[in-house]
Structure formats: C-alpha cells, structure tokens
Structure 1
Amino acid sequence: MTAHYEVRGPVAVITLDNPPVNGLGFATRAAVAAGVERAEADPAVTALVITGAGKAFSGGADIKEFGSPKALAEPNLLSLIALVEACSKPVVAAIHTVCMGGGLELALGCHYRVAQSGTKVALPEVKLGLLPGAGGTQRLPRALGVEPALNMIVSGEPVEAQMLAMVPGQRLFDKIVDADVLDAAVKFAEEVSEKRPCPKVRDLKARHPNAEAYLQFARNMVGGMSKNFPAPLRCLETVANAVNMKFDDGMRAEREGFMALMMTPESKALRHLFFAERVASKIADVPEDTPLRTVAKVGVIGAGTMGGGISMNFLNAGLPVTILETKQEALDRGVATIRKNYESQVKKGKLKEDKYAQRMALLSTTLNYADLKDCDLIIEAVFEEIGVKEAVFKQLDEVAKPGAILASNTSTLDVDKIASFTKRPQDVVGMHFFSPANVMKLLEVVRGKATAKDVLATVMAIGKKIKKTAVVSGVCDGFIGNRMIEQYSRQAGFLLDEGCTPQQVDKAVEKFGFAMGPFRMGDLAGNDIGWAIRKRRYVDKPGMKYSASSDRLCELGRFGQKTGAGWYDYQAGKRDAIPSPVVDELLKKHRESIGAKTRDISDEEIVHRLVFALVNEAAHLLEEGIAQRASDVDMVYLTGYGFPIWRGGPMCYADTVGLFNVVQAMKRFAKNPMDDGAFWTPAPLLARLVAEGKSFT
C-alpha cells in the first residue's frame, strides 16, 4: 500500500505511505490521485487533508525510480499537483518531520498548509545539479517571497518550518503547531471547508521591494560561487521568471530548465555521487540485518597527528577515548594539539564552550596497554613499518577483551599479515583514515580474509556514526586509493622526464578541478613517504619503472612543507608553493643523465595520462575484487583525494569521455618510449567493457 484513504467526519485524509520517506513514486502518485478523485465524488466529504505516514511528510522523488520511465509516468508529479490544486474542495497539507523536494512542491499545490514545528523544509534539487521541476521555483517565491525562496532553492539547505513562518508576509504556512499535526489539520480543514474560492499559491504575486536590483546582486554572488556548476545560476534565472512572467509561462520555462540540466555532465556526476554514497555501505555477502558489536569505548594507540585526529572523530560523536603512547611527553603533545584544534573551532564560533568541555572530558590517556582492556574498539596509528605493527598487535592480543575489534590505520601494509600477529584474526580489520583525520571524510575499511562479518558491519556503522564515508577494500598493497595514486604519481614523474615542470603539471590538474596537483600533494604529505614505498618496490618489483627525479629530490632532503623545501620552496609559516630554481636545475641534470628529449606537452595530455592511469588501475582492482564496484572507487577519490565533484570521480569521468576513447588514448600513451608501455595495456575488465559497448557506472 503506497497511500491510505480514510474519512474523519466530513474530512477525507490521504496518507502517503511509501517508506522510508514517502517518496513520490508512480504507485504513490496514482494512489493519491485516486484518493483526491474519490473525495471529490463523495458529497459527504467537504475537505481533504494530505499527510505522510511515519517520519516524513514526503522526501520528494522516489530514488528507486530516479531516471526511469516510471518517474515520468502519468500521473507524473506535475499532473498530480495540478489535480490537487484544481480540486473544488479545500485541500490541506499536514506537514511534519521532513518536507523536501517534490514533497514541498506537492504541499505548495495544496490550498492550505499546517506544519508541525521542527519540520525540515527544503528544495534540495540543486545538490543534484538540477532545479525544482514541479513548480518549486514558481510557487515558493509566491508563497515565501523572492529572497528567502531564492536562498532556499540555490543552497538546497533545509530550514525549520517555524523559522519560515516568521518571514514577514509569508503565505507558505497557515498554521504551525506543536501538537499532533494531523488532528490540527483535520480541525483546520473543517474550519475552511465552506470557504470559496479555494486559495491557490499560483495566484499570489512573487514579492520583493526591489526585485531587479536584488536579482542582479544575486547573479553576481551566485555566479562567483558556482563557476563549475550550472544549476545554481539556472535556478536563479528560473526564480526570476516568477517575478517577470505569468505563472504558466514560468512553469514552462522551469520545465525546460529542468530537462536541460538533466543532460549536463555536472548533473549526471552529482546524481552518480548521490547513489554512490548510498550504495557504498552495502556489502554483497554481509546482510543488512547483521547484528552489530557494541562499541561504547575506544582506544587509540599513538598520539601523533593521525592518532589525535582519529581520537577527535570519536570524541565528536560522544564516545570516550583512551589514547596510549610510549612516553608522557608524546601524550602531552598529542593532547595539547587536540585542545588547540578544539579551541580554534571555539574561536571561529564553530563549537560551543560547553561542547568543547564535554569532548575533552571524554578523553583519557595512558602509558600502559592494560588500560585498554575495557575498550570495544582499538585503533593503532603508529609508524608505518610492519615490525612496529607486529609489536603493537601482539600486545593488544594479550590485553584486549574477547570480542574487541582490533583495527589498523595502515595505509599500505598487509592487513592479513597484521591479523596473523594475533590469535583472533576474525576481530582484525583495517581502518585507514586520511590526514587530517578529523577533517577528511574518507575511511577505507580494509577487509581481511578472516575478518568476521559482524566486525565489518560494525565498523561500517561506526564510520557513519563518526560522519565518515566508509568504503570497503580488499587486502592489497595500498588498498584502493594509494594503489591507484601510485600509478598517477608514476605518470607525473614521467612527465617531468619529458620536459614538464612541477608547476605545469600541477596547474593542468588543478585547472581540471583537482584540489591539488601531484607535486603540491607530495610536498604536503611528505616526499619521504613515497621514497620509502619506492625503496620497497625496488626490492619487491624490480621491473617497475619510475622516474628517478623523485629519488634525487629526496636525496637532497627536500621532503616538502615540513622541511621548507620539496618540489617547491616554502617560506617559514606559509604554505605558498614557490617555484624552485634548485628543482629546475635538478630536473635539467636528470634529463641530461638519461638522455631525455624534451617536448611541449599539452594540458589535455597531462590530465589524461594522470586520470586514465587511475582508471586503468581501478579496472584491475575491480577485476581482482579488491573494490566492490566502480562507484566505490569514485567515492574514494571524491572524498579522499580531491577529485572534482562535478566530474563524478575517475570512473564516472571515464564513462563521460567514453571508454572506447579512453582505450584509444591509452594505446597512444603506450607508444611513448619515455612512458611505461606495459602499464597502458587495458585491464581485462576495461577491454571487455569496450568490446561489449558498456560502461563502468
């Protein structure tokens, strides 16, 4: 059942019932339309109330039907709203909890609206690269006023109903109640049942004392803030139509704008992200109802930058944390850094003093492993060396209580080997946080061959609790993100051999949309980290080719920002990357030593070599089962590596370019004698998708 019909005295009540948020799918729309027609035909019914079951009035479109023919099947949302608006009997929307997107547009088509205080109201379509397509841009400015309506539509952010009810002259809500909203709406419907004509939002005027001047100001503001996203400005112009056009003309323009935005690569990327984020938590062989282990207390080993950042995530979520270190000075430094981070948030008004005090009260420290015996989850954040990890996990195996989850924050090491240091490999899992751990959204959850399903399910739930985007990876060197970034970095090195400067590569990649180019990223993370990995590779994989320029840089002690010099020079106390004559000379001598012939390289080649290197390596990861799905790879790169959101991640971008075109470019790269031709052999999955005319996503 997707909508219920009942009669309360003279009032018909139609209740949307499509869990979890009463999405307006085809069956729900049809059931509501049937209810309206039934009430119209019943002479005993004098008014109607539309409400939602459970914890929502309606969250809008049914995401299960998004992009499918059912989404447009009649009665589509526009037709349903027109039916409600044209009803000869008063229709009252009883709004509660959540009223968003198409749900708000349906409510605006009703003649009256009664809302429960605390209801979250929004038109969030802009976050999918779209504009409201069922009258939201035309009715909300008429009901609320141009400026508050435009703010809501362009931001997509929810606002509480009682705040909107305070807008002078608003006609969005007729009544705000604290009590049961359905009872209040039925009573209100009885009171207005004889009033004619029924008021329609479409008949109101979109109000602003100086609309044209305001809209021009808004164009300047919105244009400056949304240069890579076409939807916000299109939303603004469509809202302007509510001021300058008749209602029906504005509706036609709204629909044209909606359909045009649907076809943009930016909207396709944002919609891909929307679904990718939701599916990332689903694990094929782990049922959603898997019982979870209790996590009420957390231990963190290591009080350095990573350990402190990891601890803050749990303190922010209200979980007590015990940090363990080997020396008191290290503990004191770590706690001082946590305090400094929180105090900075307090100064900026992002954190209240009482919240700061509460979080610090949850933090305890120790030098003794035995003090971790009551922890339900223990995460090590120690030096990235297998011998160090072994010592830690052997001690944890001795003191941790049965059923405690033992997690490693390793970024590259073998989680199965780490698990073998314990007598409880089923309790061991990787939890790879990204630095700074209290800021970065990504959490790679590394599933060992022995990791228990309830451990995996619990860690994924914990990821959600601490507001991370958790993505599952299998065990391999570097997991998903770092295994791919190694190929990206190798290509960056080859580009230097062929004549590029670090700043040329970085600028090309940043113009494409990355938050930071590969050489600025190396300087930030520390070039010595990559050096250590390459030294391992020279032993484990002697056939793997690298540019020696990175090793020459590290031999000079230029490890990046922490040493004041890396691929760029840095001034004390500043993060500005200054092109370095030392690096220019280093690269000149390096090219001479290998007999390299330099050439002019286009930005397009730079970007495609770096990005398609990510894509090909990711295709191998998918083939091997390390990554579950292509969209998981995109989530890793969007939330952990600064890939531009409006391009949807490397796999979504490859699909946008066309996999046939990707492979053709790879064939060209393979002919370059300065590159690694063998790497550019398309991964079996990529070759298969091209042969079958399919895509990753």
Structure 2
Amino acid sequence: MAINPTAQVRLERDGDVAVIWIDNPPINAGSAAVRTGLLHAINEVAHDERIVAAVLIGAGTTFIAGSDIREFGQPLAEPQLPTVIAALEACPKPFVAALHGAALGGGFELALGCDARIAATGTVVGLPEVTLGIIPGAGGTQRLPRLVGVPRAIAMVCSGERLKSAAALAASLVDLVATGDLRSAAVVHARSLAGRKQRVRELSVPATEPQAVADAATAALKAGKNRPAVVAAIESIKASALLDFDTALADERAVFQQLRSSREATALRHQFFAERDSAKHPQLAGVAPRAMQTIAVIGAGTMGSGIVIAALDAGYDVLLLEQDGEALDRGGARIHDHYAGRVRAGKMAPEAVQSRQDRMRTSLQWDDLAEADLVIEAVFEDIEVKRQVFARIDGLARPGAVLASNTSYLDLDAIAAATSRPQDVIGLHFFSPAHVMRLIEVVRGQPTESDVLATGLAVAKKLGKLPLLTGNAFGFVGNRLYAAYRRQCEFLVEEGAWPEQVDAALQRFGFAMGPFAVADLSGLDIAWRMRQAQVGTRDPAARYVHIADRLCEAGRLGRKTGAGYYRYTESGQPMVDETVHVLIERARADKGIAPRAIPDEEIVRRALLALANEAALLLAEGVAAHATDVDVALVNGYGFPRWEGGVVFWARERGEAALRADFAWLAEISGPGSKAGDPGALLALPS
C-alpha cells in the first residue's frame, strides 16, 4: 500500500519498515513541495504503530542533489528544511538515508539528520553551499564536525568538497556502502535499528588541538580568497565545539538567511543558472549525436597533449598523430609525465594510468586517421597551415567522421572549405591547459550539420567540459570579448596609466590576473599574429595602439623571453621595467598624447563597459546563443571573478538607460572605429 503525501513524495510499506520515496525529477531538488511531503510522511511514520523504522530514498538516478536554488532569491516557503530535520530527530523511530547519485547541500544535511546513512557505490556527498555564496543552513556546519572533526569540516565546507562513497565511508559520513540493491539493504539496516535512535546532534565534537583548527582556517581563507561565505562558514563550524547545539544551530540559520540575500550570493546564483542554461539548445532537441569511441588528435604540442589527456580521462581511445618524430616523442613524454605526476601525488592509481596508456597510440602515419570517429586538429594557429591539414584529413578520414579544428579565432568556414565535406566540420576551441580548463567553445560553421553540432556538444560534456555553442565569427565569443577588454586597457595605458596600475586595479576588482600579466604569460606574439591577420580587414581610421607591437618588435614576447610588459627574474617574478615606461612615453609622444592621471575607478569601469559593449555587439550578430553565455565564458575561461556574476550580471544591475549612456560615452572616448552596442538584448531575461 502506498500513501502519497504530495506528488513529489510517496510512502510505501515493506513489512514494518516505511520506505519514503522522493520523486522530484530531474535531480530531486529539495523544493517546498518535497519538504511538505517529507514532513507529512515523517508524521505518518511517527503515528503508525505498525512501523518500527523508515528509509528515505530518491527515485530516479539520485537522492537529493541539492536544494531548489530558485527559491533562494525569494522568501523561503514553509516548512523550511530545519523543520523537516527537526521532525526526523524528534520522531522516536529511526530513519535511514539510502543515498545514490548525489546527496549534496540540503540533501546531505537531510541525510545527516537521519540516524544512519547507506550509500550505493559511486554516490557523492558534500556541502557545496559556499560556492554559492552561502553556508549550509540546516545543520551542516554543526553535524558535520561531530563526525569528522572541526579541521576536516572546515576544509570540506569551505572548498565545497565532494566525497565519493568509499571516501565518505572512511570519514564516517556513511555507515555502509551497499554493493547490491540499495533499497533492500537500507530496509534491512533500518529494521536492525528498531527501538533506538542514533542522532548525530547528540555526538560530541572530537577534541582538536587549537593549532590544527587555526591551520585549517588559514588554508581555507587563503584558498577561498577571504570571501564572506568562507569566513562565516569557518566561524559557524568553530561554534560547534564552543556553543550548545541549539544555539549554534540557530546562529547558523541566521547567517544563512543573511548571506542568501547578499549581492554576492545573488551573483553566484546568476552564474550557476547561466552555466545550466548554456546547455539548452531547442534547435537541437531530438537530434542524436554520432557514435564516438576513437578520437585522433593532430599535433603533439602543449594543446594537443592536453586534449589527449582530457580524451583519455573521459574513456576514449586516442590516436596522437604528428608529422615530426621528435615532436611526437615530446608530446608522448609530456602525457607520460602528467600521469606520473598524478601517481606521485596519490591522485591516481598506477592501474588507472595503465588503463589510459593502453587506450593511447602515437603515430606518424596519417593513414591511421581512417580509424577515428572524431579528428581534432591542434596545429599552429595559421589559416593556411590549418587548411592544408584539413585538405589532407579529407582524403583519409572515414565517411561520417567529425572533423574539428581547435582554432581560437580563425574563420571556421574557410578551414572547412578545404574539404569536400564542410558539413562534417566544427570548431572545438579548447582553453589551455586543455585537460584543466573547463570551458570549450563549440563553433558552428555555416554548413555544419545539426548532428555534427550535437556530437561536438556531447563529446565536450563527456570530457567533463562546459561547452558554449557559438557562431563563426573572428574570435568567437571568448577571444572577441577579451580582445575588446585588452584593447580598452591599451587605450588606458596610451592615455596615461601604466600597465602595472591597470593590472593591479583589475586584480583588486577580482580578476585572477591583470591583462598585461596575462599577455606576458600567454606570449605577446599570439595576439600580435592575431592583429596581423586582421590588417586587411581593420578600418584604417580606427584607433590603434602600437605599444604591444613595439614590444614584440623589440623581442619582448613575455615570460618565455624573460621580458614583455614586465621584466622577469630567474625565478619568474615580474618586475616593473623602466624600459617599458620609456617605450610607452615615446608611443604617446608620437601621437601627441599628453598623459593624464587615471583613477583606478575609471580603469575598472571602462574595462567592464568594454566587455559589456562587446557582448551587446556579439548578441546583435547572433554569435552567442544566450546573453548569459558571455558570463559563462568570462568566468570559466578568462579569470573574471565568479562572485561578481559576470559582466551581463553587472550590466543588468546598471539598467538600460544608464548602460545606453555609458556605451555612447565609451565609444566617444575610444575614438574612431568604436561602436556603441544596443543593450536591449544584453538585458533581456530568458523567457
């Protein structure tokens, strides 16, 4: 017999054990309806004398993968999660949480409120609230340290760490890992607990040396950049050992409520939904991707090697192809060294590495391309070089194979035209290092077939990447945005700022690095080649800053030559170089520019406006699929501070009238060739 307290929660009986199913697809988010249903079911268990224990279990593929984040931006409906957990603990009958898939955030807090936890193999648990600018608000900072101690709880909560079932068992976060049927194992365990409660709240917090707590807090603050949620989480976890449980629990909830309405939490939720929405492409609904098992990567340089590692980690068979034996050996050694380092660090088992090596083959024979389902070109960023490579691929790859270019800014259609099957060509723009960076741009050419595009998105997801669908335009989304940002920063230097001042101002705003430090790191010659490629199409009347070109002409190509915008010591430390100041002063004098003092506030404002204005232009041209894809690209590929949400979030805060005036002002001070974008599409909310 089944009882349905709400559509999202149902109760069934297995003899004297109640099994409470949470069924709120796709991730069983802990919504108000779920909380209401759980409270009704808990009350049913408490008052039914035939029931001796109960099991909480998720329908579908997961337990509760988190709270319904959409609720966090508005008043929370009753019953709130602490009320549900209090009812679990107050019920005289034991509850067992049967975990599978993911038990995260509020879902894991609910599990911690139960008397026992059983996890299926492969389950992940954790409290990632800090990554959304809040802290666990339903007892997570109080119950977790009672199981793992204060230092470990600080590390887990402040990093948003997720533990797989085996690690969770070792940490006493779950009582048993079920290798067979989860429901059956949970029912048996629940029945064995009949007549006794095992409340986590009644455990003592393990005694810990004060220095261990201080060290954990220091490490968490450094890693978390002293963000408010990190600071608050540390204090709340420390309170678990200092205050009585109910007082600390109430304090935790008050801080949670305060933080969830903060600007930072709002910005982080914006980024969360932007990343989720980036995967929505109605035009591809129902389009099946092509089958993929073997990936060939052409080019064994740093980028190609990184793509190989990403593909091996995702379970693909990989062919690494080169035309130069020494380059192939260097690429193979780079991949071997990566995995050897993972083993030394204890992050991979030797047998896992061996499995990957068994799936990789290197070759100098281009005929081997015939075995690949997907061919990814990762050679020198030159249009003619890439066209030659694709013409060669065309005669060797099997019919139906997907052909992808890793170009970061070149015309994909011009590359595809070198083949007899441009409909099979896409862009897969990886960010360096390719096995680390999460962002990947999936570029659609004019003739690209829908199933090829769907294949690119599917492969990117299997690689563990965050794919952005873009149109074919110079620089696509990410590099087009960054070029506008860098150009505006160059204008600021030409007008009177110094590179180190611009870098420092933008780092204080929250960028991981300033634009000139980034240029030195990546190599000034990369952007130089990009500018040279645009010479024939650039408006000769447009404002152009020659400073970077003159640095390149002087052999100052960045860190790799020991000098760029900065001079670098033998240990790699950047130093302000008066030689650069002299070069900048000469460039100003050549244009008759009298330098002025530029405040940091103007630097940040103009940099953000340049990004927002370029985003508006991209949207008007249809290059970006969603307005918020801009924020996904900037945060995940270019070091924009996640806690600021992104430039679209920033623009929406300003409003259309102010933004329209700002864009006009920016175009005026940026000189000839600058165009003010229309903020309308930038500000439009998704339907």
Is the contact made by 2:151 and 2:217 (CA closer than 8 Å) also made in structure 1? no
Is the contact made by 1:147 and 1:208 (CA closer than 8 Å) also made in structure 2? no
Alignment-mate amino acid for residue 450 of structure 2: K
Change (3 A) 1:213 1:304: closer
- Give me the whole-angstrom Cα distance separating, in 2, the residues matched to 1:144 and 1:374: 50
With 216-225 and 128-137 compared, the bigger mean Cα shift is at: 216-225
- Give me the whole-angstrom Cα distance separating, in 2, the residues matched to 1:144 and 1:527: 48
Task: Say whether residues 1:67 and 2:72 are aligned partners.
Answer: yes
Match of 1:27 in 2: 33
1:55 to 54, 61, 70: 61
With 469-478 and 86-95 compared, the bigger mean Cα shift is at: 86-95
Change (3 A) 1:295 1:6: same
Q: CA deviation at 1:41?
A: 4.1
Task: Say whether residues 1:159 and 2:163 are aligned partners.
Answer: yes
- Give me the whole-angstrom Cα distance separating, in 1, the residues matched to 2:406 and 2:169: 48
Match of 2:244 in 1: 246
Match of 1:568 in 2: 566
Change (3 A) 1:22 1:391: same
Match of 2:284 in 1: 286
Alignment-mate amino acid for residue 186 of structure 1: V
1:104 to 65, 86, 108: 108
1:138 to 133, 139, 142: 142
Q: CA deviation at 1:599?
A: 0.9
- Give me the whole-angstrom Cα distance separating, in 1, the residues matched to 2:183 and 2:681: 56
Task: Say whether residues 1:5 and 2:11 are aligned partners.
Answer: yes
Match of 2:4 in 1: none
Match of 2:83 in 1: 79
Is the contact made by 1:659 and 1:695 (CA closer than 8 Å) also made in structure 2? no
Match of 1:605 in 2: 602
Match of 2:462 in 1: 465
Alignment-mate amino acid for residue 485 of structure 2: Y
- Once the two structures are superposed, residues 529-564 of structure 1 have per-residue CA deviations (whole angstroms, 9 ceiling, x without a partner) of 322332343321223321122222222232223333
Alignment of 1:409-428 (within 5 A): 409-428=406-425
Q: CA deviation at 1:447?
A: 0.7
Q: CA deviation at 1:598?
A: 0.7
- Give me the whole-angstrom Cα distance separating, in 2, the residues matched to 1:592 and 1:654: 35
Q: In structure 2, list runs of 5 or more residues that go unmatched.
A: 1-6
Is the contact made by 2:151 and 2:216 (CA closer than 8 Å) also made in structure 1? no
- Give me the whole-angstrom Cα distance separating, in 1, the residues matched to 2:165 and 2:353: 29
Match of 1:558 in 2: 556
Match of 1:234 in 2: 232
- Once the two structures are superposed, residues 252-285 of structure 1 have per-residue CA deviations (whole angstroms, 9 ceiling, x without a partner) of 2112101221133332232223222222222231
Is the contact made by 2:472 and 2:623 (CA closer than 8 Å) also made in structure 1? yes
- Give me the whole-angstrom Cα distance separating, in 1, the residues matched to 2:443 and 2:198: 58
1:679 to 669, 674, 682: 674
Match of 1:186 in 2: 187
Q: CA deviation at 1:7?
A: 1.7
Match of 2:479 in 1: 482
Change (3 A) 1:94 1:585: closer
- Give me the whole-angstrom Cα distance separating, in 2, the residues matched to 1:470 and 1:84: 41
Q: CA deviation at 1:229?
A: 1.6
- Once the two structures are superposed, residues 304-356 of structure 1 have per-residue CA deviations (whole angstroms, 9 ceiling, x without a partner) of 33223222322333323223333333333333333344444444444444444
- Give me the whole-angstrom Cα distance separating, in 2, the residues matched to 1:660 and 1:623: 18
Is the contact made by 2:35 and 2:79 (CA closer than 8 Å) also made in structure 1? yes
2:273 to 272, 275, 283: 275
Alignment-mate amino acid for residue 141 of structure 1: P
Alignment of 1:427-506 (within 5 A): 427-506=424-503
Three-state SS of the structure 1 residue aligned to 2:429 is strand
Question: With structure 1 as the length reference, what TM-score do the two structures score?
Answer: 0.89
- Give me the whole-angstrom Cα distance separating, in 2, the residues matched to 1:436 and 1:370: 28
- Once the two structures are superposed, residues 587-616 of structure 1 have per-residue CA deviations (whole angstroms, 9 ceiling, x without a partner) of 122111111111111112112212221111
- Give me the whole-angstrom Cα distance separating, in 2, the residues matched to 1:329 and 1:141: 53
Q: In structure 1, list runs of 5 or more residues that go unmatched.
A: none
Is the contact made by 1:523 and 1:560 (CA closer than 8 Å) also made in structure 2? yes
Match of 1:222 in 2: 220
Match of 2:615 in 1: 618
Is the contact made by 1:655 and 1:696 (CA closer than 8 Å) also made in structure 2? no
Q: CA deviation at 1:228?
A: 4.2
- Once the two structures are superposed, residues 452-477 of structure 1 have per-residue CA deviations (whole angstroms, 9 ceiling, x without a partner) of 11111111111122222211110111
Count of aligned residue pairs for this structure pair: 680
Three-state SS of the structure 2 residue aligned to 1:270 is helix
Task: Say whether residues 1:93 and 2:97 are aligned partners.
Answer: yes
1:14 to 6, 20, 26: 20
With 391-400 and 43-52 compared, the bigger mean Cα shift is at: 43-52
Three-state SS of the structure 2 residue aligned to 1:243 is coil
Question: With structure 2 as the length reference, what TM-score do the two structures score?
Answer: 0.91
- Once the two structures are superposed, residues 446-499 of structure 1 have per-residue CA deviations (whole angstroms, 9 ceiling, x without a partner) of 011221111111111111222222111101111111111221121122122112
Q: CA deviation at 1:110?
A: 3.3
Is the contact made by 2:72 and 2:260 (CA closer than 8 Å) also made in structure 1? no
With 464-473 and 530-539 compared, the bigger mean Cα shift is at: 530-539
Three-state SS of the structure 1 residue aligned to 2:616 is helix
Change (3 A) 1:72 1:373: same
Is the contact made by 2:445 and 2:472 (CA closer than 8 Å) also made in structure 1? yes
Match of 1:44 in 2: 50
With 218-227 and 262-271 compared, the bigger mean Cα shift is at: 218-227
Alignment-mate amino acid for residue 409 of structure 2: T
Three-state SS of the structure 2 residue aligned to 1:538 is coil
Q: CA deviation at 1:126?
A: 1.5
